[in-house]
Structure 1
Amino acid sequence: MEIKERFLNYVNFDTQSDSYSHTVPSTSKQLKLGNYLVEELKSLGIENAKIDEFGVVYGIIPSNNNHQGDVIGFIAHMDTSPDASGKDIHPQIIKDYQGQKITLNEDKELYLDPEQYPQLLQLIHHDLITTDGTTLLGADDKAGIAIIMQMVEYIYNHPEFKHNDIQIAFTPDEEIGHGSDHFNVDYFNAQYAYTIDGGDIHIVEYENFNAFSAEVKVHGRSIHPGSAKNKMINSTRVAYEFDSLLPVHMRPESTEGYEGFNHLHSIQGTCEETVAEYIIRNHDLQQANKQCQDFKDIAEFLNKKYGYQIVEVTITESYLNMKEALKDHMFIVEQALAAIKENGLDAYCSPIRGGTDGARLTFKGLPCPNLGTGGFNYHGPYEYCSLTMMEKQVQILLHILKNTASK
């Protein structure tokens, strides 16, 4: 099966996760893809493939090497972001892209314009897949799944290809920060792994954000508007007052590279009560802690201003920067960079402006940097991926396996 067919098959599955759910996984529809992947792995010779009670798919390809070296794992996630619909995706194929503006949806006036998305100009002559402007695409991370599966199929069809034990896993709920909650590192039994959940395949990522979430709950005083003078305190207005006191230059739309941000992800409320959900991100843990303290300080200021406990702030740690935990395992990064170069590409490292399952798995004792999928503009209708990059990433993974088998 070609990687294009494989990927288009996977995006037919609606696997959107739900951050408000209390089930594991957060949506049962993720299990449909999980069960499908188990059967596909079995059809490619991995008879031990299984899905556990938490919705995590595992499979082991036994070594065919005379001497057993490092056991390497490859991981991708099955869910798509709650930020945009993942149902009834209608991909569009652009063959031999020439640098033109791409029409996603003429009725909605949605376009992929190289002037706005200059990465497109690095993809001249690539075959691209885009959305039709009504959903996200799901390259995050079904492109990663397709790349891993294509690698598995190659190994199945080429028994002469020497390799050590290879561990495969597909996780649910990565997009809502729970992809590694129930990941069985002991069962996975790899010395290290790679998540295939990045963007540009030239890049190896081993630095990610320190991530926290903040729930800001505002308790107003609801009074009939006709008699509200000097009595009503509208919680929604206070919530926006709270937001205005956060640094404007630390919003996502104003940051890049190593710059951290506070992102107002959602807000719901009435005059009586409003709840605002934020995510707090910074590569520097000290700076991330300062951002968290800003939230507490603003709450204290508003509580004094209004004379009662009008604002409650609850901060929760999501994941930490894996850079510190990987500093003694940099050979994992170096061998990935070498494999990229062996495929005729420039290779470099770049910080992840996000997180992966690998960040938390690294702190669980499974060192796990991140590799690219060829996907871009995740989590919305402007998402697209390069089939050309996906095909090349399969070769990069095979080079990693070949090089480690020969050590």
Structure 2
Amino acid sequence: MPDSAADRFLRYVVIDTQSDAASKTQPSTEKQKNLGRLLVEELLAIGVADAHLDEHGYVYGTIPSNSPKNNVPVICFCAHMDTAPDFSGTNVRPQVVRNYQGGDIRLPGDPSQVIRVADHPVLKTLVGEDIITSDGTTLLGADDKAGIAEIMAAAEFLINNPDVKHGTIRILFTTDEEIGRGVDKVDLQKLGADFGYTMDGETAGTIEDETFSADAVEIAVKGVAIHPGFAFGKMENAIRIAGEIVARLPKDMAPETTTGRDGFIHPTGVSAVMEKASLSFIIRDFTEEGLKEKEALLEAISKEVMAAYPGSSHTFTVKEQYRNMKVVLDRHPEIVDYAVEAIRRAGMEPQRGSIRGGTDGSRLSFMGLPCANIFAGGHAFHSPLEFVSAQDMDRAARTIVELAKLWEERA
């Protein structure tokens, strides 16, 4: 009996793969390769003969075409191995609530952690399914080990069922997605795919063809430091300057006050002493214009604050992170159309959505591999309340198989 996606998932989540934004290496943490090595072993065992781990921690593999047609596009399925630095990913102890009967789920390792139906109404649709959670002391890692497990389960199915016709399928497992470096070192020539799908979404049945566009902003402030006993009329405290900049940010333009298609300005870090301060921000919007407006607003606020401190100076640096993949995907409507059809064939009602975030797919799309994002089934990502339904993972694996068939049929 082949392993289900859930069997695989339970093996993968206990391997700590947390990435680290402060690290300068790729992968940012060596431990991500521990999962990579296991995945290569498993791929080789199911018959993916060229599976290998490269020096950057990426896993590549190929399921050769078994189609009589020679014009079937090469499709890549991609997921990331790292978990978010936001919450501990060490010593993950997964729990399975078999045949979930509804109601809140209290997590055994920390009873103060409760997955409440009021906060996660999707639970009402999962009655009778097997819900996998952490014990409440760590995150679970469904983001994105669910995606990995689903790709692996689908790969095994395709190899074991040669009567299911498909073109060449490429498998790519990346590192460091959670810190925005997921595809920095991907060798697209080696990958050789025409189109792709990241398995990194949430609710079963969703296909996402749009992400935020994203920039980072760094503001460095140089104040005037002097002994506080002799500071009258002279000191310009960089800590106060930094505080004033943050205090003037519009309250209705924060992640916690925006939803839908509204973007935000989000301070992610402040470090300050009297003589100097540095502030880090992320700016998000679905349009390039919205992004530029928010950056101009932040720059105007910092200039306004600095005007009151004539002895001090500041620099304002914008760094591009990723762009809304819809721009690229709209040129290849079949990528999303086939995904919608595959989801329907796998027994779900397709839902098209936008991601208030980014995926490896956004970057890959602009690097030349147009890539939409398909559900992996997880919920409450980056928190100890993360959960996923085993049956939703099977539905995602079925969606991958249906997609492989569709690209072959329509070629």
- TM-score for both structures, normalised by structure 2: 0.94
Shift of residue 120, structure 1, vs aligned partner = 2.3
For 2:13, the equivalent position in structure 1 comes to: 11
For 1:317, the equivalent position in structure 2 comes to: 320
Shift of residue 168, structure 1, vs aligned partner = 0.4
Measure, in 1, the Cα distance between the counterparts of 2:119 and 2:227: 47
Q: Is the 8 A contact 2:102 2:127 kept in 1?
A: yes
Q: Which of 48, 53, 56 is the matching residue for 1:54?
A: 56
Q: Is the 8 A contact 1:235 1:273 kept in 2?
A: yes
Matched residue SS, 1:350: strand
Measure, in 2, the Cα distance between the counterparts of 1:396 and 1:34: 24
Equivalent residues in 2 for 1:270-289, closer than 5 Å: 270-289=273-292
Q: Which AA in structure 2 matches 1:57?
A: V
Q: Is the 8 A contact 2:110 2:136 kept in 1?
A: no
Equivalent residues in 2 for 1:361-372, closer than 5 Å: 361-372=364-375
Matched, 1:187 2:187: no
Q: Is the 8 A contact 2:110 2:137 kept in 1?
A: no
Q: Is the 8 A contact 1:87 1:135 kept in 2?
A: yes
Q: Which of 148, 159, 175 is the matching residue for 2:151?
A: 148
Distance 1:48 1:235, change over 3 A: same
Measure, in 1, the Cα distance between the counterparts of 2:407 and 2:38: 30
Measure, in 1, the Cα distance between the counterparts of 2:133 and 2:267: 27
Matched residue SS, 1:211: strand
Measure, in 2, the Cα distance between the counterparts of 1:308 and 1:132: 53
Q: Which of 63, 66, 69 is the matching residue for 2:68?
A: 66
Of 143-152 and 12-21, the range deviating more from structure 2: 12-21
For 1:36, the equivalent position in structure 2 comes to: 38
Matched, 1:45 2:47: yes
Q: Deviations over 1:170-203 (max 9, x none)?
A: 0111111111111111211111010001111211
Matched, 1:103 2:109: no
Q: Deviations over 1:191-247 (max 9, x none)?
A: 101000111121110100000111222334444555555444443332221112121
Measure, in 2, the Cα distance between the counterparts of 1:223 and 1:20: 31
Q: Is the 8 A contact 1:299 1:312 kept in 2?
A: no
Of 213-222 and 313-322, the range deviating more from structure 2: 213-222
Shift of residue 334, structure 1, vs aligned partner = 0.5
Q: Deviations over 1:331-355 (max 9, x none)?
A: 1101100111122211121101110
Measure, in 2, the Cα distance between the counterparts of 1:248 and 1:240: 15
Equivalent residues in 2 for 1:272-351, closer than 5 Å: 272-351=275-354
Q: Is the 8 A contact 1:302 1:310 kept in 2?
A: no
Measure, in 2, the Cα distance between the counterparts of 1:185 and 1:309: 46
Q: Is the 8 A contact 1:252 1:261 kept in 2?
A: yes
Q: Which AA in structure 2 matches 1:371?
A: I
- TM-score for both structures, normalised by structure 1: 0.95
Q: Which AA in structure 1 matches 2:324?
A: N
Q: Is the 8 A contact 1:105 1:111 kept in 2?
A: no
Q: Is the 8 A contact 1:207 1:351 kept in 2?
A: yes
After superposition, the CA RMSD in angstroms is: 1.7
Q: Is the 8 A contact 1:302 1:311 kept in 2?
A: no
Q: Is the 8 A contact 2:130 2:390 kept in 1?
A: yes
Distance 1:77 1:107, change over 3 A: closer
Shift of residue 327, structure 1, vs aligned partner = 1.1
Shift of residue 5, structure 1, vs aligned partner = 2.1
Q: Is the 8 A contact 1:295 1:313 kept in 2?
A: no
| Structure 1 segments unaligned to the other structure (5+ residues) | none
Measure, in 2, the Cα distance between the counterparts of 1:266 and 1:95: 41
Shift of residue 366, structure 1, vs aligned partner = 0.8
Matched residue SS, 2:368: coil
Measure, in 1, the Cα distance between the counterparts of 2:292 and 2:39: 40
Shift of residue 85, structure 1, vs aligned partner = 1.3
Distance 1:63 1:98, change over 3 A: same
For 1:118, the equivalent position in structure 2 comes to: 121
Q: Is the 8 A contact 1:140 1:378 kept in 2?
A: yes
Shift of residue 282, structure 1, vs aligned partner = 0.5
Q: Is the 8 A contact 2:270 2:279 kept in 1?
A: yes
Q: Is the 8 A contact 1:212 1:319 kept in 2?
A: yes
For 1:75, the equivalent position in structure 2 comes to: 78
Matched, 1:388 2:365: no
Matched, 1:137 2:151: no
Distance 1:95 1:268, change over 3 A: farther
Measure, in 2, the Cα distance between the counterparts of 1:61 and 1:394: 15
Q: Deviations over 1:51-91 (max 9, x none)?
A: 22222111011111111312111000111111111111112
For 1:377, the equivalent position in structure 2 comes to: 380
Distance 1:236 1:386, change over 3 A: farther
For 1:352, the equivalent position in structure 2 comes to: 355
Distance 1:107 1:153, change over 3 A: closer
Of 47-56 and 371-380, the range deviating more from structure 2: 47-56
Of 179-188 and 269-278, the range deviating more from structure 2: 269-278
